[in-house]
Amino acid sequence: HSHHRTPCKGGMRFSDEVEEDEVKALAKLMTYKCAVCDVPFGGAKAGIKISPKDFSDIELEKITRRFTVELAKKGFLGPGIDVPAPDMGTGEREMSWMADTYKNTIG
């Protein structure tokens, strides 16, 4: 939502209920929360419309790694750019896959 303060901060959401307007609203909310609390981050949020329970661990890993590459190629991910965090349908495992993918392909 806002790159006026970087890095951006926000969660990565995997849910079959993800909608673009909701993701934009949540990114704006994170921007406002950081500003009100004087936390030096901009607001961000990302999501994929999938139900994680419908995919195997191997499939989720492939989806997460590909999503990471696409975000990085577009300049939405990287040191000083975005601080991803887990959200609905994601956790430590997905964040680990993202960090590993970024390190081994872009970083």
Q: Which helix (H) or strand (E) is 20 found in, with range?
A: helix 20-36
- Name the active-site residue from 33, 45, 49, 62: 45
Identify whether the C-beta of residue 7 lies closer than 8 Å to the C-beta of residue 42.
yes
24 is catalytic: no
**What are the catalytic residues?**
45
